[in-house]
Structure formats: C-alpha cells, structure tokens
Amino acid sequence: MEPARLSLNTATVRQRWTLRQCIEGCARHGIGGIAPWRDMLAACGVEEAARLIVGHGLTVTGLCRGGMFPAATAEGRRQAIDDNRRAIDEAAAIGAQCLVLVVGGLPEGSKDIAGARAQVRDGIAAVLDHARAAKVPLAIEPLHPMYAGDRSCVNTVAQANALCDELGAGVGIALDVYHVWWDPDLPAGIARAGRERLLAFHVCDWLVPTRDLLLDRGMMGDGVIDIAAIRAQVEAAGYDGLVEVEIFSRDHWWQEDPDGVLRTMIDRARTCV
Amino acid sequence: MEPARLSLNTATVRQRWTLRQCIEGCARHGIGGIAPWRDMLAACGVEEAARLIVGHGLTVTGLCRGGMFPAATAEGRRQAIDDNRRAIDEAAAIGAQCLVLVVGGLPEGSKDIAGARAQVRDGIAAVLDHARAAKVPLAIEPLHPMYAGDRSCVNTVAQANALCDELGAGVGIALDVYHVWWDPDLPAGIARAGRERLLAFHVCDWLVPTRDLLLDRGMMGDGVIDIAAIRAQVEAAGYDGLVEVEIFSRDHWWQEDPDGVLRTMIDRARTCV
C-alpha cells in the first residue's frame, strides 16, 4: 500500500510532535491523511488546524474522540452529551470523515454492564440529530473486551452493528484490528457492516507478549494479527478509505524519532498491510 | 454461600503453600473442594495427593490443566496430545470432576487463528476416547480475548458450545467469570450450555484498573463483575456444583498469608457471590 493511502493517527507520535508537526510530517512523507486527537487539536486551535490540514491537502480520517457516555449521575450523562456535541462541531470544522466514539465503560461504582450499554445507546441517540445536521458520521469503535470495565462496553462488531440497526442513519463503525482480530465472528460482522457503515479502518499489531493493557501496541508486522486478511475483508465489503495507523507504545515507538516512526509505518504498510 | 460450597484452586495460594498445605487448609477452613494444578500435583505425588484428598473429604472440582494443542509442527501437536492423555490419567487418579482445558493460542510464528482453532478441535478429538474411557470430562475453558495470541484461541462461550456440538459426549465447559463477564451473549451461552455441559464454575473479579494481563485478578467484590448475576444464570441452567475460586494476584493476594486469603474468600463468598 502506498503512503498516500495511509493516515496518521496523531496518538502514534504524540509524545514528541504537536499537531502542526504531525500535519507537516504527513505532508513531508507523502502520507495522505491524519486523525487528530482533541487535546492536540485544542492546543493547535481548531481554525489553525483546519487551515493547515487543507493547506497540506490531507484527508481527515476521523477525530478522536467522542463517547464516554455512561455516568453515575444524570448530570454526568448530560455533561458527556454536551461534550460530544462540541466534538461533533470540531469534527465538522476540520472536515473529519467521522467522529470516533469510544463509548465508555461502567459508571463509577457500577457492575451493571447491560445498563452501561443502554446508557451508550441513549447517549448516541441524544447527539445524533446534532451529528446529522453537522454531516459528521458517528463511528462507534468496538474496543477489545479488556477495556469493557473502564473504556468501552461495546466490544464486538456484532454489538456495533446492532447499535447501528437501532439508531439508524448517521451512525457507523470504526474498525481497529487491535480490538477485533480475535473475534471468530469478525468476517460476518464486517460483511454485515458493509460499505455504508465502515467509516474508518485502523491498524497496528497485537504483540506477544503484551506488557501493558493500554500502551503496548505493536507496529504492523511485529505481532500476530493477520492484518492483510482483515483489510481484504474490509475492502471486499466496499471500504475504500484510507488506512489509519494508531499505535500507543510507551516504551518503544513513543521513544523513537517521529520521522523514523513514519518511515517504518510506510515500510510496513507496503509489506504487512 | 457457605464455605462447604467453595473450592480452592491452588493457584490462588501457590506462592506459599504446597498441595498438601492447600488440602489441609481447605479442611481447616471448611472449604469443600480443591482444584490442583499439575505441577503442584506432581510435586506432591499423584497417589499421595489422592490419599490426602480422600482423607480430608474434599471434592476435586477440576485438574488444571490440559490443552495447549496448537503447535507449529506435527511432532509438537503429537507431544501435546500425549501430555493431555497423561493429564487425563492424573485427573482420573485424583477423582477430578473434569480436566480443565486451556486450549492454546497461535503456534510460534503463526497469524492463522482460524487454523489454530482447527488444531484445537482436532487435538481434543484425538484425546476424547481416552477421556471417555477414563470417565474424565474435558472442560473447555473459554479464555478472555486478551489471551487469544498466546494461551487460548477459544474466547467465548459460544465458541465452546460450538466445539461441544461438534465433538459430542465427554466435552463440556469450565466457565470463569473473569474471562466471560464482558460478553453480551453470555446469558444465551450459559443457557445453551445447560446442566450437562457446565462442568465447572470459577470466580474472581476484574479490577479497574487491571495492571497486568495475567497476574492481577481481584478477590470477589473488589472489581466490576456482577458475580451473583452470573452465578444465578449458571444455577438457572442447572449447575449445582461447587464454586471454585481462582485468583492470580502477584502483587496482592500472593503476598498475603494463605489462611488470611482463605478467610477473605469465605467472607466474600457470603456477600459477593
């Protein structure tokens, strides 16, 4: 895959580069897209970021992230909804192809995962009109089951598809191989999602051993995920967008020079994606 | 739940007690069952362990563990099958209600999880006659998807049920809340498994945050799993066996005096299971 078909999720180099540096770095390496995180976007300024992104001709494959809907109190849930509306506005301002939703886990003190899932559905429903009006598709990202407690109670593509069925137009799926590679129902879930729902495709790799639940993702090719096979399924379902690289790697890639990380990304995209 | 309905998985106190000490500890605290690991069983001697277990009137809720079928070579797979036959014999010798199977992950160098799953099916099939003859049910334990790479490519109750369907009599499921609590299809999977397939029920808790993928399990009540709800589902499906406590906790419970750990287990079983 050529670098023009890649997108850089800014988390991959966030320890060393600002958003401006990420944008300029993508342009320098011929990477076609970018997916900023909101804190880096805020630090740059939304208008300035939009100007830089357009100026360098980058596609914005997503804004990370909305979500985090479940809360122990009605006030907490209301605040989450307000924050998601702001995230939708930011996504629209930078022309993002979607707002990625990391939907949230169990509210503080709760063991009611079914209740949390209902709060997620209700939260997305509450912001959906705003998203439709802003023409920002909401991309539910199923997260690996090891995050069910604290980050996302949506853990499979089947769950995300069911939410899309229930919520209707304006909601789709961000598929990250890291979260779903283990799922025996993945091929069926991707086929069922289809072109319309597949809003983003993220890659990295699952290392064996994995030393940290959050910050030990691998570069494509260094782990056990058959990324090419999953990409083939996604493209067979009609996805023709960019392939976004998102690697949280505290002890390895975050320690490297970002230009080197981008070169490795590009190299691996040719051979392992 | 009274202590007589509990079983001690010896991994819970393995850093400080031998199998003999575990057996005597269970008896001292009125715990009704035990589930030894094979290395501790070997250190004690199978015959001596059997004598001690009978002498103290304990139920053996399972032997940990068989499995680990996938391998990169035919010779590796053959060795795994031989080892599983020995494990079956050991389980029979101590009167274990089942041999728990941690089925194995990807072979060295492989990214083919579907292939690994086929090797698991073939491996169980290869030892099933031996298990039936020995009257040792094989309990497939679905492991959390975070272990799909290196420990178990069977990650949901639905997968375990499908294997049981395919393999027939003599194969069932060991259900551990730690591995399956996140699964939206868990209630359906438990109901489908039913009394005949539910061979063991293991409890501990999922801590938030979890600091280690393997060795940071929580004591019941210290995490986010609604253990009582899952127990109710299991018992509604007909399970009436003991409840086995299996906690790998390098930095907390493995540092404590085992008698104190057993007292805490018993206390928490009354309130949180």
Report residue B164: phi and psi, to 5°.
Answer: -60, -40
Query: Which of A116, A172, A173 shows the shortest CA–CA distance to A147?
Result: A116
Question: Could you give the CA distance from residue A67 to residue B176 in angstroms, rounded to a whole number?
Answer: 30
Separation CA A212–CA A252 (nearest Å): 12
B95: phi then psi, degrees, rounded to nearest 5: 65, 30
Confidence of residue A132 (pLDDT cuts 50, 70, 90): very high
Is B225 in contact with A146 (Cβ distance < 8 A)?
no
- Chain A partners within 8 Å of B155 (Cβ): 182-184
| Per-residue pLDDT, B219 | 98
Answer yes or no: are the C-beta atoms of A151 and A143 closer than 8 Å: yes
**Residue A66 CB-density burial (10 A; 0-12 exposed, 13-18 middle, 19+ buried):** buried
d(CA B7, CA B53): 12
**Closest A-chain CA to B158:** A184
The string over A111-139, giving b where at least 16 C-beta atoms fall within 10 Å of a residue's C-beta and e elsewhere, is bbbeebbebbbebbbbbbebbbebebbbb
Q: How high is the pLDDT of residue A108?
A: 95
- When the pLDDT of each residue in chain A is averaged and rounded to a whole number, the result is 98
Looking at residue A83, what is its pLDDT?
98
Domains and CATH numbers, chain A: 3-272 (3.20.20.150)
CA distance linking residue A140 with residue B263, whole number of Å: 44
Q: What are the chain A neighbours of B106 within 8 Å (beta carbons)?
A: 208, 224
**Beta strand extents in chain B (DSSP E only):** 6-9, 33-35, 59-60, 63-67, 99-102, 138-140, 171-176, 198-203, 243-245
Q: Are B155 and A181 in contact (CB under 8 A)?
A: no
Looking at residue A221, its pLDDT comes to 98
Flag whether the ipTM exceeds 0.90.
yes
CB-CB neighbours of A64 under 10 Å: 30
- Mean pLDDT in residue range A91-109: 98
- Sort out which chain B residues have CB atoms less than 8 A from A224's CB and list them: 106, 110-111, 113, 149
Series of mean pLDDT values for 10-residue runs along chain B (273 residues):
97 97 98 98 98 98 98 98 98 98 98 98 98 98 98 98 98 98 98 98 98 97 98 98 98 98 98 96
Residue A206 confidence class, pLDDT cut points 50, 70, 90:
very high
| pLDDT value of residue B227 | 98
Say which of B150, B182, B213 has its CB closest to residue A148: B182
Interface residues of A toward B, Cβ cutoff 8 Å, are: 105-106, 110-114, 117, 144-146, 148-150, 153, 155-156, 158-159, 181-184, 206, 208-211, 213, 223-226, 229
Band of residue A62 on the pLDDT scale cut at 50, 70, 90:
very high
- Which of the four pLDDT bands, split at 50, 70 and 90, describes residue A80? very high
- A144 and B146: CB-CB below 8 Å? yes
